[in-house]
Every structure is written in structure tokens, then in C-alpha cells.
Amino acid sequence: MMTRYHVLAGLSALLLIACTHQASVDGPLYRNASAPIEARIDDALSRMTLEEKIKLIHAQSKFSSAGVPRLGIPELWTTDGPHGIRTEVLWDEWDQAGWTNDSIVAFPALTALAATWNREMSALYGKSIGEEARYREKDVLLGPGVNIYRTPLNGRNFEYMGEDPFLSGTMVVPYVQEVQKNGVAVCVKHYALNNEETFRHTTDVDLDDRALYEIYLPAFKAAVQEGGAWSIMGSYNLYRGQHVCYNERLIMDILKGEWGFDGAVISDWGGVHETDAAVKNGLDLEFGTWTDGLTMGATDGYDAYYLAKPYRDGILNGTYGTEELDDKCRRVLRLIFRTAMNKDKPFGSICSEEHYAAARRIGGEGIVLLKNERSVLPISASAKRLLVVGENAIKMMTVGGGSSSLKVQHEILPLDGIRRRAGDLMEVSYARGYVGDVGGSYNGVNSGQDLSENRTPAELIAEAVQMAKEADCVLFIGGLNKSNYQDCEGTDRRSLDLPYGQDDVIEALAEANPNLAVVLVDGNAVAMPWIDKVPSVLQAWYLGSEAGNALADVVFGDVNPSGKLPFTFPRQLSDSPAHRDGKSFPNRGKSFYDEGIYVGYRWFDEQDIEPLFAFGHGLSYTTFEYGPARLDKTSLRENGQLTLSVRVRNTGTKTGAEVVQLYIADDESSLPRPPKELKGFQKVWLEPGASAEVKFKIGPEALKYYDPEAGEWIAEKGGFEALVGSASDDIRSRIAFSLK
């Protein structure tokens, strides 16, 4: 079907062809798409006036910045992500514009993607969402997010890729590459140290250099140097007393200096608070909300932004030179030439069968089977009466949560997906169980659901218990939602506990029916005081448009679960390093990361604390046996590599996939190091009885730590150990080697 997007794209292509043809004869070099991009930038920059340069580096609307109309350089259009393309909003408002053709596919949250531990799923995700962004004529996708999971109370953890820098750094690269093949730039966020929401505009992070380089920066570095990211979004918080959107050390010294980033640094919306530092410390493109970029004021006040009139006036009165301005314009022009003026980009597609299939596949592969005693899951074919309990079985989760809120073409709810799969073979009944958030709107997008409920908690539990006694098996579908103080931008969780009295419902169901499976729909770890009474627990995340189908695939065994946790589940909040000894959270002023490099499983290993569920944990409907790890030699030279191999066999009766994880332990380090660190993983698919040899390359890079005194990465000679297993707490084989 021909749409306005195709018409506009076709006209743009014709205009670009015409401009390119003219440029090849006698036109300006910047229009010649076949010319080297740096030469095109030089030519365009030489033709621009001061006014045009200033307009290029700040917003002109809520989500766009000006091009150079006189020169035919187009506007730059951004869109929120990272799980889908945000609905069109009004020019100067957050509320939706009221279009009828801007509904999209919602893909699973990035926690679910990280839980696949599969690079192919990351590439599929990037390809699919990139095609949707391209179809909607977006130039910059504001995502993916790779901030490290430091605390389970961070309201925005569901948008990120877990606690480990190697896992998140590995998974972000294919996403970046595949999005940008569509001529759409990623904007990797939130650079950096954005680990809490409540006081995100004023929190000043204090941490040592080892933690900065080893834990919080590697995923951003991978996105830039391996993925080739074209833009980066600065975060709201401060580091060393300076806001991160224009932080001299993080942007000038590390991002643009050490890493050689040639893209544009874009502010988070309202993340700029002054002109001077923004000019000098590497911010390239300022976006915001109202006139001052943060609070309400006069509409359409974009000329008052810090990189607008105040900057222009500073140049005219001699406060600033033009060197910084030209560098900013170069980077923004480079971004425009890579996206809006890229003649080779495809048309893209939206709401296609392929995209829905991708969302379903990624969702199913990201679901994690945490516990499965007595094989309650998959649901037996002999079961005739299934009871589903819980609000999250019927609540839309694509609306809300902050800037990742979406307007979907459809969202398959868990109860609907389960009923569709059960068909006429099984009676599926439903009980509410508890009441959580009965609303469902965000910036003018409404779910259309009426979840109002007049019964008391006691009445709801009594109904669920009575129905559970009459069922063959029970699925409780609960968890968190995207309301304030849960999984939501702008606020943090207030505790590790499940809200809305869900623990009482689960306890009552466990007494009523032994065949109970708890399904958790959320993006964070939660406390499970009932864990010993419940035989089966499934971590299902926020799965987007195909949530119900993806969940049904796993619950009924059509898909064998193969997800692994991308972060640790603590038994109690005080076990988490950010909350030990009653440490305050959230932090209104200074936030001291005094756990240093001991984040996530590194802390649990170092302190010998047993987690509820470990990093990397995830069960299957089949079983896997590991053989002994073998090395092709016992020592490693400084410029060489070792090959580690291990044979894995499917010893069960179902086809399934296992994520083989490689950890490295340093036995002779001069500085303290964690007991082990993830340095490799591979997902292998095996038929029943089949086996495969999994191989890892171990080079000096896998052995290094950051030496803050030397200011560099060090691989010390001495003894190391390679540990291979199914989770960070389930090591199946280990072997020693040395670095000569």
C-alpha cells in the first residue's frame, strides 16, 4: 500500500538524484553523494553563515533540529526508542499529534534482548527496528541503552542490558550495526553513569577510575569502536561536579580523545544547564523541553537554548571563538550526510509480518526459566483446566514507563496468547487476584483498557483460591508494571518487594494447588519470599507486541526456554552492593560508588553471598552435560591466543539451546580482582542426544585490568584459570594456564 512515507521517500530520492546529477557537473561538492564525506563537510561548512551554524546545533522542535534550507541540507529528525518508534508528537508539545498511521511494532525490552545471550537476536532486533525507523523517516533512533545494572531499584533498568560490561558490550554491537544499515543513526545512551532516576538531574557520581573503565564504560566503547555508532546521548547526572552532557573528562578526554569518536554528542532532553561548559566540553547538539531546556516556559523558545542565541552572542562579543562551533557543525553535518542525505538507504518497512515474527522470536528466546520442580512447565497436554491469575495477564505494557512508551498496532496480552494456543483442547479461566494500576495512558496515548475493580483484596484472593482448587494447573502472571516507582523513567522503585499484595496471592495459590507456575512480567529483580513453596518460576520481561504469543510458546513447550539472566537476583536488598549497610538510595547529592569494580555477581562472589538466582542462570526443558575443558596449550604469549574447547551434550528428550559461559580468574594479580569475570559466551542448539564442541579464543585482552596509576590496561604475567559453566554459580569445568 502506498503511504505518505513512500510518497515523501520517492520525492526525496528524485530530488537527491537531481541534486547529485547537478553536483557531478557543476554543483556544490556537498551535494555529491559519491564524493568523500569529509570533503562534502568542508564544502558545506565553508558556505554556511554564523546564523546557519548556530541553528544547526540546537533543536527547532521537540524532536527535530534545523538543517540549512538555503543550501538544501535537510532537517534532522530523531525518535525515542529503544524498543519501538515513538508516536508522532506535536511540534512543541509532548502529547501525540493525533496521526492515524504512526502505530508500530513494539519489540521486547532490552533486558529481554540481553537475556537471549545471542548475537543473532541482537542483529535481528537492530535490523527490524531500524527498518521501522527508516519507514517513519527518522534519522536518529534514541537508543539502545547500555547503562550498567548497579541497583535493582533503578526505575530504568528495563531499558538496559544488564550488570556485566562484557555481555552488554557484546550484545550492543550487532544492534548498532544493523540499525545503521538502514541509514538511521543510533544514539547510544545514557553516557554515562546514569544508574538512578529520582534525582537524576542533580546526582553527582563519585567513583574510582577502575570502576569507570572496567564496569561502566566498556559497553559504550564497544558501541563506538566496534559498532561504529554515529551518535551518543549524554546523561542527566553529574560526574566530578560537572553535568555529563558536557563533561570534559568523559566527552573530550575519553569519548572523543581516547576512543576517537567522530559522531555527534546529543544532549538528553533538558540535560543542558549552561552555555560555557556546553561550548567547550564537546556537546554537539542540544535538545530540550521548554525555553530553558528543562522547565515549562514560553513555547517555541528554541532560540533561547544554551547553544542558540547565548552562544551566538558570545561569539559576536568575543567571548568565544569559532573553532568549537565548526567542530560541532562538522559532527552534525556528518550525522546528516550519513542519514538524511544518504542516497543509498532503503525504504524500510513497518508493522510487517517479519517484524512481528522477530518480536515473537526474540521474546521467546529471552524468557528465563528460573525454577521448574516437578516439571510443572511446560503445561501438560493432559491438563484440561488451566487457571490464569494476575493483573499482568490482562494489562497492556507498551503504554507508559517514560520515553519508551509506544503506540502499537496491536499487543497480544498474555491471557489472550494462552487462550489462543490452548484452543479447544483446554479450558482457560481467569481470576484477577490483585489490583495494581488500573490506568493506561501516556502523553495522550491511551491503552483503551478499563481495569477498574470494586472488590476487596480478600475477595479477589478468595475467588482465585477457589478456582485454583478446581484447576489442573495454575499460572500466576504478575510482577511490576510501568507506573511511577516501578519500571519507569523519572522514578525509582521503593523496595525490592512485589507491589499490590502479590506475595499474599502467590502464597494462597501455592496452598490451593501444587501445580503452580509464577510468571514475572517486569524488568528488574524482585524478592521472592514464597520461592520454596512454588515449584516453577518464569522470568518473562516486557515482551512488546507479541508478548502473549511469545509467553504461550514457552509455557506450552513450543519453544524450549533458553534465556539466561543478565543480572543477579539478590535474596534481599541489603545483599546488593549499592544497598549494603543501609546505604541511602536514591541519592539527592553525591552518589558514592564505593563498591568499585564489585558490581553484580562480582560482589556476590567476592563476599560469598548466595544469590536468589545468579547472573547467567537459566534452565531448560531438557538437560545438558559438559565435558572437561581443554586448552590447545598451557601458556599464552603476549601477542598470541589460546583455544579453549569444551564438548556439550543434550542429555534430555527435547531439542534445546544452552549458553556456554567462559569466565577468567586471575590468580596472581598485583591489584585486587573479582574471583571471576565473564569473557566469552556461545549459544549452542542441540537435538536430544546430540553434542557439539564449543570453542573460545583467549587472548591477552581477556586477561587485562585497568591500572589507574599507569592509566592503561594491564595484562600481568602469571597464572590464570579458565572456568566454563552454565551460570556464574554453576561452573562445570576449569583449567589453569599462564601468561608468559
DSSP string, 516-545: EEEEEESSS----TTGGG-SEEEE----GG
* Same-domain pairing of 316 and 385: no
Q: Which helix (H) or strand (E) holds 636?
A: strand 635-636
DSSP 187-204: EEEEETT----TTTTT-E
Active site residue 268: yes
Report which of 664, 659, 678, 632 is spatially closest to residue 734, judged by C-alpha positions: 664
**Three-state secondary-structure class, residue 172:** helix
390 and 346 Cβ atoms separated by less than 8 Å: no
* Same-domain pairing of 497 and 642: no
Tell me whether residue 118 is in a domain.
yes
| Omega before residue 190 within 30° of 0, cis | yes
Tell me whether residue 168 is in a domain.
yes
* Radius of gyration for the alpha carbons in the chain, expressed in angstroms and rounded: 26
Report which of 48, 150, 115, 215 is spatially closest to residue 563, judged by C-alpha positions: 115
Tell me whether residue 549 is in a domain.
yes
Tell me whether residue 144 is in a domain.
yes
Q: Single out the residue in 535, 555, 575 at which a domain terminates.
A: 555
In this structure, the dihedral spanned by the alpha carbons of residues 167, 173, 179 and 185, taken in order and rounded to 10 degrees, is 110
**Three-state secondary-structure class, residue 247:** coil
* Same-domain pairing of 20 and 98: no
φ, ψ of residue 384 in degrees (nearest 5): -110, -20
**How far apart, in Å, are the Cα atoms of 169 and each of 226, 228, 449, 712?**
9, 13, 38, 19
* Same-domain pairing of 479 and 511: yes
Count of CA atoms in the C-beta half-sphere (13 A) of 706 = 15
φ, ψ of residue 236 in degrees (nearest 5): -75, -35
Report which of 321, 324, 286 is spatially closest to residue 66, judged by C-alpha positions: 286
Distance (Å, whole) CA 728 – CA 150: 17
**Three-state secondary-structure class, residue 483:** coil
pLDDT at site 289: 64
* Same-domain pairing of 401 and 411: yes
Q: Please give the grid coordinates belonging to residue 412.
A: 497480544
For 270, residues 6+ apart whose C-beta sits below 8 A from its C-beta are 201, 236, 288, 289, 293, 294, 295
Instruction: Report the CATH number that the domain containing residue 412 is assigned in CATH.
Output: 3.40.50.1700
Tell me whether residue 598 is in a domain.
no
Instruction: Report the CATH number that the domain containing residue 75 is assigned in CATH.
Output: 3.20.20.300
Count the domains in the chain. Answer: 4
* Same-domain pairing of 711 and 727: yes
For 694, residues 6+ apart whose C-beta sits below 8 A from its C-beta are 645, 646, 647, 648, 660, 682, 684
- Outline where 35-87 has alpha helix (H): 37-47, 50-56
pLDDT at site 221: 98
Q: Which residues pair with 712 in a beta bridge?
A: 707
Tell me whether residue 574 is in a domain.
no
pLDDT at site 298: 57
pLDDT at site 180: 98
Tell me whether residue 78 is in a domain.
yes
* Same-domain pairing of 526 and 628: no
**Amino acid identity, residue 340?**
A
* Same-domain pairing of 74 and 3: no
**Which structural domain, as residue segments, surrounds residue 15?**
1-35
**Amino acid identity, residue 22?**
Q
**Three-state secondary-structure class, residue 389:** strand
Distance (Å, whole) CA 22 – CA 32: 8
**Three-state secondary-structure class, residue 134:** helix
pLDDT at site 731: 98
For 343, residues 6+ apart whose C-beta sits below 8 A from its C-beta are 13, 16, 17, 20, 33
Q: How is residue 567 annotated by DSSP?
A: S
Question: Chunked in runs of 10, what are the mean pLDDT values of the chain (740 residues)?
Answer: 41 40 60 94 97 97 96 97 94 90 97 98 98 98 98 98 98 98 98 96 96 98 98 98 98 98 97 96 90 55 92 97 98 98 95 98 98 95 96 97 95 98 96 94 90 96 98 98 96 97 98 98 98 98 98 98 98 96 87 96 98 98 98 83 97 98 95 97 98 97 96 95 98 96
* Same-domain pairing of 153 and 293: yes
* Same-domain pairing of 109 and 13: no
Among residues 139, 268, 553, 575, the one annotated as catalytic is 268
For 672, residues 6+ apart whose C-beta sits below 8 A from its C-beta are none
Instruction: Report the CATH number that the domain containing residue 660 is assigned in CATH.
Output: 2.60.40.10
Tell me whether residue 562 is in a domain.
no
* Same-domain pairing of 318 and 392: no
Distance (Å, whole) CA 680 – CA 736: 16
293 and 243 Cβ atoms separated by less than 8 Å: no
* Same-domain pairing of 326 and 461: no
pLDDT at site 23: 41
231 and 263 Cβ atoms separated by less than 8 Å: yes
Q: Single out the residue in 496, 529, 555 at which a domain terminates.
A: 555
Q: Single out the residue in 555, 590, 611 at which a domain terminates.
A: 555
